[in-house]
């Protein structure tokens, strides 16, 4: 019997993982995130590994079943600079102004740690999607940052929310921008015999 754990409290990741048709427990990682790099791809891989390791080691000793822990982390990057969650209105305005009329990248790192038939292993990968944003007017920017949407999301937006109307196009996996490259994860789990 395999037991799956998602090391994230994100409702969007929960929904995406649910589309694989597996039952899983949500156990968000709580440790302080340690960033030792500036390369967005390496950052998300490292953060996803930290989340996955924390939960894996927490449940390893208390669980005799086969366990699979999935950790993920997403960042928005413009010109290789990582944009975190806006700290307030000025920060949100500055981020959205930067993204307006430009192409930026969204990186999601995923780490799968598992114990299967007594054998332990892990796989870490990342997915990158280019997102092109229409030129926004000052009025549109002000109107958008006056909503609650930008403040709990990396880069100040969620593609599946109000900001979607300003997205001109994407190159890559849409679900990666939402927070979990589910098709790539499915193939990784499938190839490892974890489904």
Q: Which residues are catalytic?
A: 73
Distance CA 142, CA 147 (A): 9
Long-range CB contacts for residues 167-171, cutoff 8 Å, separation at least 24: 167/131, 167/132, 167/133, 167/134, 168/132, 168/133, 168/134, 169/131, 169/132, 170/129, 170/130, 170/131, 170/132, 171/129, 171/130, 171/132
Distance CA 64, CA 47 (A): 27
Burial class of residue 107 in the structure, from the number of CB atoms within 10 Å of its CB (0-12 exposed, 13-18 middle, 19+ buried): buried
| Virtual torsion, Cα 64, 58, 17, 117, nearest 10 deg | -30
- Tell me the CA end-to-end span of the chain in Å, nearest whole number: 11
Question: What phi-psi label fits residue 68: left (phi over 0), alpha (psi between -120 and 50 degrees) or beta?
Answer: beta
Query: Which one, of 19, 120, 124, lies nearest residue 72 by Cα?
Result: 124
């Amino acid at each position: 019997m395999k037991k799956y754990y998602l090391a994230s409290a994100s409702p969007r990741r929960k929904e995406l993982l649910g589309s694989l048709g597996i039952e899983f427990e949500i156990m968000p990682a709580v440790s302080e995130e340690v960033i030792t790099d500036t390369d967005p791809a390496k950052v998300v891989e490292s953060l996803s590994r930290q989340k996955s390791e924390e939960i894996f080691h927490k449940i390893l000793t208390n669980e005799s079943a086969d366990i699979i822990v999935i950790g993920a982390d997403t960042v928005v990057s413009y010109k290789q600079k990582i944009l975190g969650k806006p700290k307030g209105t000025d920060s949100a305005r500055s981020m959205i102004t930067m993204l307006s009329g430009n192409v930026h990248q969204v990186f999601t790192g995923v780490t799968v740690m598992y114990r299967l038939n007594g054998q332990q292993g892990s796989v870490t990968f990342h997915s990158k999607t280019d997102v092109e944003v229409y030129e926004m007017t000052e009025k549109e920017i002000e109107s958008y940052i006056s909503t609650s949407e930008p403040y709990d999301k990396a880069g100040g937006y969620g593609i599946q929310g109000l900001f979607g109307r300003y997205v001109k196009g994407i190159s890559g996996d849409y679900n990666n921008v939402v927070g979990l490259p589910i098709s790539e994860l499915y193939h990784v789990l499938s190839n490892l015999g974890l489904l």
